[in-house]
């Protein structure tokens, strides 16, 4: 059985000073390394240098759009973890993109549902105001409102059943 000789034996209270000393010694004896070009370009984007050339050098345009600004998302060339950046500087991992997209989609669905409900109400109000002097027009508004009511019920039902990314992370 081989026995290794420790470089240092000291009490726990002495470890911070030793670690600091060793780190400083390493910094004095090691030449600084320049960061890889891809990392420098991504850092430039994060600092506000949103030139498209920076993104094109480190990423490929994806088929996804940024949930924050609607711009094109670029998938970074480093494959793990999968990451995205948009031309305005927003950044996402694949998981945070899914979560952000869920929030945007959820808001859009509920906004659309509310708009359809308002449209149905307006059509019914139009039918009511047209009833006495334009009965045919009033009936057309009511038919359209009834069709819309069916669509609203179906959309509401689907919206309530839509899975969230939390449902997928348990798999």
What sections of the chain are H helices per DSSP? 15-29, 37-46, 52-58, 94-130, 135-161, 165-169
Q: Has residue 149 been placed in a domain?
A: yes
Predicted pLDDT at 75: 93
Establish if 65 belongs to a structural domain.
Answer: yes
pLDDT above 80 (res 97): yes
Q: Are residue 81 and residue 132 in the same domain, yes or no?
A: no
Quick check: 66 and 50 in contact, CB under 8 A? no
Cβ-contact 55, 87 below 8 angstroms: yes
Tell me the β-bridge partners of 86: 73
pLDDT at residue 39, as a whole number: 78
Query: Which of 56, 89, 122 lies at the terminal end of a domain, its last residue?
Result: 89
Computed over every residue of the chain, the mean pLDDT equals 85
Q: Across the beta sheet with 59-65, what order do the strands follow?
A: 59-65, 72-76, 83-86, 91-93
> Does 51 map to a domain?
yes
Q: Are residues 82 and 127 in the same domain?
A: no
From CA 89, how far away is CA 45, in angstroms rounded? 6
State residue 164's pLDDT score: 58
Q: Which of 4-8, 54-58, 96-100, 140-144 has the lowest mean pLDDT?
A: 54-58
Average pLDDT over residues 8-14: 93
Does residue 129 fall inside a structural domain? yes
Number of domains in the chain: 2
Residues 105 and 150 both lie in one domain: yes
What pTM value is reported for the model?
Answer: 0.59
Q: Which residue range is the domain that position 72 belongs to?
A: 39-89
- 32 within a domain of the structure (yes/no): no
In a domain, 153, yes or no: yes
In whole angstroms, what is the distance from residue 111 CA to residue 52 CA?
33
Question: 127 vs 61, 140, 149, 152, CA distance in Å?
Answer: 50, 8, 15, 19
Start-to-end C-alpha separation, the chain: 46
Among 89, 111, 127, residue at a domain's last position: 89
**Can you tell me the distance from the alpha carbon of 114 to that of 23, in angstroms, rounded to the nearest whole number?**
60
Residue 21 lies in a domain: no
Whether 107 and 62 map to the same domain: the answer is: no
Q: Could you tell me if 111 and 75 lie in one domain?
A: no
96 has pLDDT over 50: yes
Q: Kindly tell me if the per-residue pLDDT of 42 is higher than 90.
A: no
Q: Encode pLDDT of 129-158 as tens digits.
A: 988 889 999 999 999 999 999 999 998 888
Judgement on whether residues 76 and 127 belong to the same structural domain of the protein: no
């Amino acid at each position: 059985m081989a026995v290794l000789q420790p470089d240092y034996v000291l009490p726990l209270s002495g470890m911070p000073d030793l670690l600091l000393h060793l780190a400083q010694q390493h910094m004095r004896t090691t030449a600084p390394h320049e960061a890889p070009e891809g990392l420098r370009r991504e850092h430039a984007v994060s600092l506000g240098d949103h030139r498209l050339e920076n993104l094109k050098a480190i990423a490929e345009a994806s088929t996804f759009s940024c949930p924050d600004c609607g711009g094109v998302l670029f998938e970074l060339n480093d494959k793990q973890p999968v990451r995205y950046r948009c031309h305005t500087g927003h950044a996402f991992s694949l998981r945070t993109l899914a979560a952000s997209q869920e929030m945007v989609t959820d808001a859009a669905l509920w906004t659309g549902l509310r708009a359809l409900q308002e449209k149905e109400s307006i059509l019914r109000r139009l039918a009511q105001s047209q009833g006495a002097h334009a009965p045919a027009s009033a009936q057309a508004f009511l038919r359209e409102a009834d069709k819309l009511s069916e669509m609203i019920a179906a959309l509401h039902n689907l919206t309530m059943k839509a899975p969230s990314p939390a449902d997928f992370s348990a798999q």
